[in-house]
Structure 1
Amino acid sequence: MAIITLTTDFGEKDYFVGAVKGAIYSELKEVRIVDISHSVSPFHISEAAYIIKNAYNSFPKGSIHIIGIDSEFTPENKHLAVLLDDHYFICANNGILSLLASEIKPEKVVEINIHDAIETNFPVLDVFVKVACHLARGGTLEVIGKNISEIKYLKQFEPAINSEKNQIVGHVLYIDNYGNVVTNISRKLFDHVGKGRNYLISARMVTFPKIYEAYSDWINFEVEKENRGEEDGKKLALFNSAGYIELAIYKSNPSTVGSASTLFGLEHRDTVTIKFEEK
């Protein structure tokens, strides 16, 4: 049975998600629809890119992923169907696949060209669903689009390294549901540039001299709990499960202890710097 996933900024209030699912079921009776997220901030391309990059590979090969973010069809925002890592992605050519395609080269990319046969101002419902169902039936990309060699890439996903190779300047890529701050600096890049050197991470007025492997790693469990003092609300940096440096508050809750985003004063695209010491 084909799997079609949905990642959108539609939210839960309006009819959009239900209409898209209904259209899929009207085309295909035997299909499994999975919601990845409908809570992406409106038109937030980097947020959606981070979510889809870290969710898609949990699905079986051959899964079809509809991404409904900033998908209005215009001369500057064409629609794509992409085969990458044996998964299909249907989205606008707005840079949303930059984070994924920078690590894994797409196997095939087509610019969708069935718009003349469809009158729509809701492309996710009328165009993306048609393409997804075509692929789910075993159809080929060439039938619904023309081959192109490149997709749009966004430079904002790439941290900068200075010429002395002792500094990485990144930025806030994503803020999760707990208010923890995910940077665009990967473990792979950190290890490549750092080469085992001491370092200091800084973001606005906060600094971090150490990166942990898990949220609880900073706790000394050899000390009895009643003697360790307050643990919730402590700041830390760690490599998160997606392989990026995250600035976090232990057991953060925006309504009680606060979150990394609010307490550190960090928002999307704010600068995060790592300076390495000379050996």
Structure 2
Amino acid sequence: MSTPGRRRPRWGPSCRRRSEKRWHWSRTSWSIAIVDVAVITLTTDFGTRDTYVAEMKAAILSITRDVHVVDITHEVAPHDILEGALALEAAAPRFPAATIHVAVVDPGVGTARRGLAIASRDQVFVGPDNGLFTPFLGDPRWRAFELTAPEFRGALVSRTFHGRDIFAPAAAHLARGLEPARLGPPVTDPVRLTWPQVRVAGGRIGGAVVHIDRFGNLVTSIHADAIATLGASIAVRVAGRTLPLVRTYGELGRGNPGALVGSSNRLEIAVNAGSAAKALRAGRGTPVVVSRSSPVARRAPRRS
């Protein structure tokens, strides 16, 4: 059942906002009503010390309260567009169809760079046109629209805070059922980042570290499907070390480094109960090579 006067978004063939029960208070009693609840996520480099994230949420809730606002992360390194794109790539596919993802890693705020809404994979991505949404432009059905319609912005637009005054209001209106095409004219040339490449040749796969997570794990550009082409016996070379490919952190002795396929389906370099970044003195851009090895070399020795 839909709330009267509300339209379901139609961004793709399977988009449905989920309904949920909510308690409503009248003057004499509580009652249950079924309402459509949209999901909006936020990904930024704002951190949580300042009020920026709360102001974006306030802008959304001032337009619609029938929404779940989910924080993906606000700890993207300042101005690091690639890190923001990788965070979205990892998290966005986990959300249901019709989710609206607002991302703000925007060193070009206030310049001529465009604001966009991109409909892709039955979801919508809202934010600056600076490459943040590169992972979702592989969908052949993507459509993009520039955010130019003034009626779907805040009453006053700051030159330095488009997240609050342009992107958050646009997302809130989309959550109310607005078609993305009403936000502005179509865009056929959104900015794309130079995406981390993987080279496959002669039984070897070459890639690089693209992200270091909170635990010091080195997340690489190499996906599991590429590794599978090499067979069962694999060795990984990084920072002058040859490491075994294991299935879990626990297969490594405490303090020992190794490689495994992480939850994002990418090859990761890890140290059991430690930081691979510190132990190997490696960082983003460090080369990683995966190759066939003898079965004996697969398991790292355990420390007693």
Question: What residue number does 2:216 align with?
Answer: 179
The structural deviation recorded for 1:151 is 2.7
Question: What residue number does 1:268 align with?
Answer: 284
TM-aligned CA distance change 1:115 to 1:179, over 3 Å: farther
Alignment of 1:7-86 (within 5 A): 7-70=43-106, 72-75=109-112, 77-86=113-122
Aligned residue among 99, 103, 111 for 2:146: 111
Moved more, 179-188 or 147-156: 147-156
- The one-character-per-residue Cα deviations of 1:86-131 (angstroms, maximum 9, x if unpaired) are 11111222222223434x3453212222369763221100000121
Specify every segment of 5 or more residues in structure 2 that has no aligned partner in the other structure, as ranges.
1-36, 294-304
Distance in 1 between residues matched to 2:237 and 2:71, nearest whole Å: 36
Question: What residue number does 2:183 align with?
Answer: 144
Distance in 2 between residues matched to 1:4 and 1:197, nearest whole Å: 41
Aligned residue among 202, 205, 213 for 1:168: 205
Bigger radius of gyration, 1 or 2? 2
The structural deviation recorded for 1:158 is 2.1
- Root-mean-square deviation over aligned CA pairs: 2.3
Aligned residue among 122, 135, 139 for 1:99: 135
The one-letter code of the counterpart of 1:146 is P
Question: What residue number does 2:29 align with?
Answer: none
Moved more, 167-176 or 107-116: 107-116
The one-letter code of the counterpart of 1:177 is R
The structural deviation recorded for 1:251 is 2.1
Structure 1 or 2: more helix by fraction: 1
* Total equivalences in the alignment: 253
Distance in 1 between residues matched to 2:166 and 2:237, nearest whole Å: 45
Distance in 2 between residues matched to 1:187 and 1:97, nearest whole Å: 22
The structural deviation recorded for 1:201 is 1.9
Aligned residue among 244, 253, 257 for 1:235: 257
1:212 is paired with a residue whose SS is coil
Normalising by structure 1, we get a TM-score of: 0.83
1:132 is paired with a residue whose SS is helix
Cα pair 1:83 1:108 within 8 Å, conserved? yes
1:263 is paired with a residue whose SS is helix
The structural deviation recorded for 1:199 is 4.5
The one-letter code of the counterpart of 2:267 is I
2:97 is paired with a residue whose SS is coil
TM-aligned CA distance change 1:32 to 1:260, over 3 Å: same
- The one-character-per-residue Cα deviations of 1:41-100 (angstroms, maximum 9, x if unpaired) are 11112222222122122222111110011261433x322111111111112222222234
Cα pair 1:49 1:100 within 8 Å, conserved? no
Question: What residue number does 1:200 align with?
Answer: 235
Cα pair 1:4 1:132 within 8 Å, conserved? yes
TM-aligned CA distance change 1:19 to 1:186, over 3 Å: same
Displacement over 6 Å in runs of 4+: none
